[in-house]
Chains A and B, each alone.
Chain A
Amino acid sequence: MLVQFYNVSKIYPNGVKALDDISLKIDRGEFLFLMGQSGAGKSSLIKMLFREELPTRGQIFVASRSIVRMKRSDIPKLRRNMGIVFQDFKLLENKTVAENIAFAMKVVGSSSRDIRQRVPEVIKMVGLSGKENSLPTQLSGGEQQRVGIARALANRPLMLIADEPTGNLDMETSLGIMELLYDINRKGTTVIMATHARELVKQAHRRIIILENGRIASDTSHGELPS
């Protein structure tokens, strides 16, 4: 079991109840969609996975370790097991494609040799060979998200967490990104993806969790969306 939530609630200091008694389990190698309206609690749940937020009540285990009781100095270790993909890509604009990916490896202390070897690998994996030296501003939205995914993969994470990765992209580009995520999942990486895009989810035939007002409204394993 990779992720376990036990009766997790999150109430923000301003009184907003983002999550209400959530319990769920995610296996290694799963592909999971997290759906729901804005404000349903998707972002809070995602942020708890990499401990940007702590729950007000309840327990969360990632790879059998409690992230609630985790020491501050152990947080970097937790996050190195995860690759995070953002809706707005969060690429460093003054760095090239290759430098953006190398940066993520440098930051966790990889050796220069590892970096030289791994960067071209992940660039090829996301289909951006030939664009190594382009700056993010010279790329399309879809290409920029591919760089974001390559960066998330560079440190060989156990799981990929994608928060609305196609939120800023058109349908056709989104489908390309989805293919890439399925491919990554097939190679063994757990993928957790929060999204609004019902069209993408419908065709996926994967596990779907729908959040409503901070509670799990449905958890289906084969992509049946309630109408």
Chain B
Amino acid sequence: MSLSNAVYFVREAYKSLSRNRLLSFATISTVTTCILILGMAVLLTMNAGRFMNRLESDVQMIAFLDKSLSQGQINSARADIEKISGVKSIEFISRDESLAELQKTYGSEYDLEATLGTNPLPHTFKIEAHNPQEVPQIAEKVNQVVGVYKVNYGQGIVERLFQVTRWVRIISVAFIVVLGAGAVFLIATTTRLSVFARRKEIYLMKLIGATDWFIRWPFFIEGIFLGVVGSLLAVLLLALGYGALLQNISSMTLVTLISDTVLLGKVYLSLLAVGAVLGVLGTSISLNRFLDV
């Protein structure tokens, strides 16, 4: 593309945008709304995902051992558990350590050992899985190892948690797909109107011998402009809103939001790119039909 052609394309795009000022404005605000909701959904999903990942990684198994086991039997039980596929780590916690841990939570006011007489706790293994989702199956296998009499991993709660995270993800994705389709449809409508306004000119250009791309470029520039300006506004609003949210919520320790500026920057840039892609998609839907002369 020569420079003088590039200038011509941009000028044509600008003319068409300013000729349809009201429609351009309407399209930009719709794209803004769409990308804004899309961005909110993305940030929500990311934060929810992170929250869920945290919860999930907290999911670990505690295997309680028979009290009567000798050190050799404990070692062989440990070896058996390590052989189970999906096990990431295994840590032996002796009954004395468990009691000391428990003592810590009660503080110095109660002397547990004195109260109880003997230590009632069994030896335990703390087991982590590579994939938290596999915990129930692994727990089942650990339970069958000789010397293990019980495995705890928050049965029931874990299954519910996974179900909830799955639905949050599915619903977010569905939401994003529907909104994206809406934005494409709107840009396609805008392009169709501006193509329609210039259909005689396009026909003439074709008969004079213009290439398809010579005719396409101004419309693509127009579509990309609408998409990018709309998403730029959305990103600005989103960055302001999320920034304010971060500042106000940081004092609450229960929920921590993603505050990694590099990651957020990537999200914002991606939203801009999505705006441009929506512009290209919308334009190409409307354009090809008119070029067939």
Contacts and interface: CB of A to CB of B under 8 A. Distances in A.
Interface string B100-117: 000000000000000000
A200 B207 CA distance: 27
B209 A79 contact: yes
B200 A90 contact: yes
B208 interface: yes
Contact of B208 (A73, A77, A107, A111): A107
Given A90-B204, A107-B214, A80 B209 contact: yes
Contacts of A73: 211-212
B245 interface: no
Given A90-B200, A92-B204, A112 B210 contact: no
Given A92-B201, A107-B214, A84 B4 contact: no
A76 interface: yes
B175 interface: no
Interface in B266-288: none
Q: 5 closest pairs, A vs B, by CB?
A: A79-B209, A80-B209, A107-B210, A76-B209, A76-B211
Interface string A62-101: 0000000000010011111010100000101000000000
Given A52-B293, A76-B210, A90-B200, A107 B205 contact: yes
Interface string B187-210: 000000000000011001111111
Interface of A: 50, 52, 73, 76-80, 82, 84, 90, 92, 104, 106-109, 111-112, 151, 155
Given A90-B200, A90-B204, A92-B204, A107 B209 contact: yes
Interface of B: 2, 4-5, 8, 200-201, 204-212, 214, 293
A104 B4 contact: no
Contact of B210 (A50, A82, A108, A151): A108
Contacts of B204: 90, 92
24 contacts: A50-B207, A52-B207, A52-B293, A73-B211, A76-B209, A77-B209, A79-B207, A79-B208, A82-B209, A90-B200, A90-B204, A92-B200, A104-B208, A107-B205, A107-B209, A108-B208, A108-B209, A108-B210, A109-B2, A109-B5, A109-B214, A111-B4, A151-B208, A155-B209
Contacts, number: 42
A109 B206 CA distance: 13
Nearest to B215: A107
Contacts of A112: 4
Contacts of A84: 207-208
Nearest to A100: B204
Contacts of A92: 200-201, 204
Nearest to B203: A90
Contacts of B4: 111-112
A50 B205 CA distance: 13
A73 B213 CA distance: 10
Contacts of A108: 208-210
Contacts of A106: 8
Given A92-B201, A108-B209, A151-B208, 15 more contacts: A73-B212, A77-B209, A79-B207, A80-B208, A80-B209, A82-B209, A84-B207, A90-B200, A107-B210, A109-B2, A109-B5, A109-B214, A111-B4, A112-B4, A155-B208
Contacts of A50: 207
A148 to B, nearest CB: 10
Nearest to A151: B208
Contacts of A90: 200, 204
Contacts of A79: 206-209
A67 to B, nearest CB: 14
Nearest to B2: A109
A128 B208 CA distance: 21
Contacts of A151: 208
